[in-house]
Amino acid sequence: MKNIICDIDGVLMHDNKLIPGSDKFIHRVLEQGNPLVILTNYPVQTGKDLQNRLGAAGINVPESCFYTSAMATADFLKHQKGNKAYVVGEGALTHELYNAGFTITDINPDFVIVGETRSYHWDMIHKAARFVAGGARFIATNPDTHGPNFTPACGALCASIERITGKMPFYVGKPSSWIIRSALNHMQAHSENTVIIGDNMKTDILAGFQAGLETILVTSGVSQLSDIEKEPFRPNHVFSCAGDIDVV
């Protein structure tokens, strides 16, 4: 029985609306007993928030199935030296960092960690850039530049700090294989028996390819059939939507 890592936006939902058939797919997976992680680069919502979001659309999944870039970032940092962090982000990210034993501070932090926040302002940029220039390690939850309707995302927030300091962050989220390895550890699974389902060749499918997973592209989101030829790697399977998947 295959382990399944599944993206949310573009695979299960568009904004907060169900993609037809995705509810039946997820419920079939749960009935079959496939180990499941629903993985997102979005660091602002907790597992409970995501459970409520999908539940409102008719997809009922245990909270334990959700894994975010905020959780993966906390997991990454537990393997690094230092326990003080200056954070640009929302409560879900700081919650995961607190749980991992970190002190959130703007006094000599070991790390500058950027997630996403609508409260981004000049003072945050100034402090983050000063700390990074002074030697704090620069970590970001994901490289996404924008969300729906061009809302600024983590990569966009990092850009000003990069330009000021000349230093790039380590991005934990997709397409980094780190978040895939972290999700595999979370579900106690191995790459050779795991499939990733995503709608984006440049993030989901690339991350799965780099981590050695079987990959499924659905064309209900970002990438279309014409986009496959633009990349040097290929998904193992292609379906129009999650409801059509018949290989897991």
- CA neighbours within 13 Å on the CB side: how many for 140? 25
Catalytic pick among 7, 75, 110, 199: 7
* DSSP per-residue codes, 89-121: S-HHHHHHHHHTTPEE-SSS-SEEEE---TT--
Give the chain's largest Cα–Cα span: 53
Examine the residue annotation and report whether 7 is marked as an active-site residue of this protein.
yes
> What are the C-alpha distances in Å from 230 to residues 25, 78, 225, 226?
29, 37, 10, 8
Catalytic position from the list 9, 23, 110, 144: 9
SS3 233: coil
* Residues annotated as part of the active site: 7, 9
